[in-house]
Amino acid sequence: MTTSEPSRSPRPTRMHEVSAETTDLVDLVLDYSRRRLLADDTPLDRPISEFELDRRAGRSIDEHGIGAEQALSRFEHVLAPACITTDHAQYLSFIPTAPTKAAIAFDLVVSASALYGGSWLEGAGAVYAENEVLAWLAREFGLPATAGGVFVQGGTLGNLSALVAAREHARLAMTLAGAPMPDRWRVVCSGEAHSSIASAARVMDVEVVPVAPGDDGMLRGDAVRAALDEHGASVFAVVATAGSTNFGIVDDLASIAALKDEYDFWLHVDGAYGLAAMLSPLARDRFTGVERADSVIVDPHKWLFAPFDACALIYRDPEAGRRAHTQHAEYLDTLTETSEWSPSDYAAHLTRRARGLPLWFSLATHGAAAYRDAITASIRLAHEIAAEIDRRGGFRLVRDPQLSVVVFEREGWTKADYDAWSARLLEAQHAFVTPSSHAGRPNTRFAIVNPLTTFEQLAAILDTMR
């Protein structure tokens, strides 16, 4: 029997047993994975319409299956080319991903090993390795040796989980002090904070107090002070941004953190994209103050070269996270009645993949210095292409880059011009660069995290803006 000729046997163990059929299937998948992982000419690709996908892919699922060969062929030749390759060197929109070969390869190992990462009881070795990475990150950020946390799906869940812990911390403090609860809980953040903060607030049914940043996009302590004075004890958390998605702006963390000397609030630092830049000597000074945070997040699938999906959520006092998130049920008593470190206790989740292991393997393989070099290279390239934009006639640099996001305008262009240009770039498989806007003006941006991206590639993209 070949993998293209599925068996009609009613044997219920067929899909799970080791057999000639499953051996062929695994070989097929691993061969494809190896080819894809080691390819240096993977196309950028592009989305196609549902109608066209329906025409090309057709029906894959029926009572008997189409066999592994046909299913993989359909994926390789129809479905995958309809997905933009996010680790392509000229994928420059949103915040790209650029996982190391080591991290991608080990992601296969994680799946093949049937690991469960929710509890120490079931995954002690995996949890130990993940915690080693979290401890390393905490040290880089200046947090105490007792800090810890968990890898979650992404920044939205990380921010939500941190804010839930912050509110629970405030409730407990007020209860112990015999103080009345506020009529409504509030979280203070920049008016340019990531959309996930507003999303978390809706889920939690709390109010967001947006504070206007300075003209340079940075939120500062004096503006936060005014909000704290106005709303008092109803403010359970202040969120500072360490690398905004649109501009890569780092708030004035030092002046915001200094307010903790006068006010009682939980400081959460959303560093999903930018906090990784602390590894570079070119940017580390921008993050002074993060060492006073009560919680931070950073997404390894952004600028720490891990595959989707991984966000590191770190608490200054992990017990605050555990109090807020531990789930209680009779069938969980064997887990919750111990002091062992179970990752499910530290965020709004229960079942979880050991998603920190690919980063652990890559770090263990290459060492932290390789990460510092790669991040530094992206920052340096951003400043080089920003200088090139500034030199060119007909272009306007919207802001000097702090990290690795470069925002610029083509003078005289409308939103429609940017849209048409972006579509042409992708259709020609030249690059993926989408329009953006700021203060009502259309623009575009390079988000640079991939060490394979070159100055020549970026300059060639600028050349197309005629």
pLDDT tier for residue 364 given thresholds of 50, 70 and 90: very high
On the question of pLDDT at 330 being above 80, the answer is: no
On the question of pLDDT at 18 being above 60, the answer is: yes
Q: What is the CB neighbour count within 10 angstroms for residue 25?
A: 18
Measured between its terminal Cα atoms, the distance across the chain in Å is 58
Say whether 141 sits in a helix, a strand or coil: coil
- Which tops the pLDDT comparison, 115 or 330? 115
Q: How far apart are CA 310 and CA 44, in angstroms?
A: 23
Residue among 466, 398, 406, 411 nearest 438 (CA): 398
Q: How far apart are CA 40 and CA 365, in angstroms?
A: 21
CA atoms within 13 A on the CB side of 415: 6
On the question of pLDDT at 455 being above 60, the answer is: yes
Question: What is the spatial order of strands in the sheet that 395-397 belongs to?
Answer: 395-397, 405-410, 441-447, 435-438
In the chain, how long is the greatest CA-to-CA distance?
74
- The radius of gyration of the chain's CA atoms, rounded to the nearest angstrom, is 24
Q: How far apart are CA 233 and CA 211, in angstroms?
A: 17
Place of tokens 């400081």: 267
pLDDT tier for residue 4 given thresholds of 50, 70 and 90: low
Q: How far apart are CA 6 and CA 15, in angstroms?
A: 11
Average pLDDT over residues 386-410: 98
- Write down the pLDDT at residue 65: 95
Q: How far apart are CA 446 and CA 207, in angstroms?
A: 33
- Write down the pLDDT at residue 124: 97
pLDDT tier for residue 329 given thresholds of 50, 70 and 90: confident
Length of the chain: 466
What residues contact 405, with CB distance under 8 A and at least 6 apart?
A: 245, 246, 247, 248, 382, 445, 446, 447, 448
For residues 394 and 463, the answer to whether their CB atoms sit within 8 Å is no
Q: How far apart are CA 141 and CA 289, in angstroms?
A: 9
Q: How far is CA 140 from the centre of its chain?
A: 18
- Write down the pLDDT at residue 6: 55
Q: What is the CB neighbour count within 10 angstroms for residue 334?
A: 10
Q: pTM for the whole thing?
A: 0.95
Computed over every residue of the chain, the mean pLDDT equals 96
Q: Spell out the domain ranges in the chain.
A: 105-366, 368-463
Place of tokens 């999303």: 199
Residue among 66, 64, 68 nearest 76 (CA): 68
pLDDT tens for 93-121 read 999 999 999 999 999 999 999 999 999 99
Q: How far apart are CA 223 and CA 38, in angstroms?
A: 50
- Write down the pLDDT at residue 374: 98
Average pLDDT over residues 281-304: 98
- Exposed/middle/buried for residue 179 (C-beta within 10 Å: 0-12, 13-18, 19+): exposed
Which two tokens mark 397?
Answer: 């640099």
- Write down the pLDDT at residue 127: 98
Q: How far apart are CA 129 and CA 360, in angstroms?
A: 7
pLDDT tier for residue 339 given thresholds of 50, 70 and 90: confident
- Helix or strand holding residue 312 (H, E): strand 311-315
- Write down the pLDDT at residue 1: 47
Residue among 177, 287, 170, 172 nearest 233 (CA): 170
Which two tokens mark 190?
Answer: 């920049």
Say whether 135 sits in a helix, a strand or coil: helix
Residue 87 phi/psi, 5-degree rounding, is -100, 15
Q: What are the CA-CA distances from residue 181 to residues 63, 76, 126, 174, 186 (Å)?
A: 58, 57, 40, 7, 12
- Write down the pLDDT at residue 328: 79
- Helix or strand holding residue 318 (H, E): helix 318-325
Q: What is the CB neighbour count within 10 angstroms for residue 359?
A: 31
For residues 87 and 99, the answer to whether their CB atoms sit within 8 Å is yes
pLDDT tens for 132-168 read 999 999 999 999 999 999 999 999 999 999 999 999 9
- Fold (topology level) of 105-366: Aspartate Aminotransferase; domain 2 (3.40.640)
pLDDT tier for residue 3 given thresholds of 50, 70 and 90: low
Q: How far apart are CA 243 and CA 190, in angstroms?
A: 12
Place of tokens 């070949």: 2
- Write down the pLDDT at residue 5: 56
Residue among 271, 262, 276 nearest 240 (CA): 271
pLDDT tier for residue 336 given thresholds of 50, 70 and 90: confident
Q: How far apart are CA 255 and CA 220, in angstroms?
A: 6
Average pLDDT over residues 455-459: 98
Identify the CATH homologous superfamily for domain 368-463. Aspartate Aminotransferase, domain 1 (3.90.1150.10)
pLDDT tens for 199-228 read 999 999 999 999 999 999 999 999 999 999
Which two tokens mark 423?
Answer: 């579509």
Say whether 335 sits in a helix, a strand or coil: helix
- Write down the pLDDT at residue 307: 98
Among left, alpha and beta (phi > 0; psi -120 to 50; other), residue 370 is alpha
On the question of pLDDT at 11 being above 90, the answer is: no
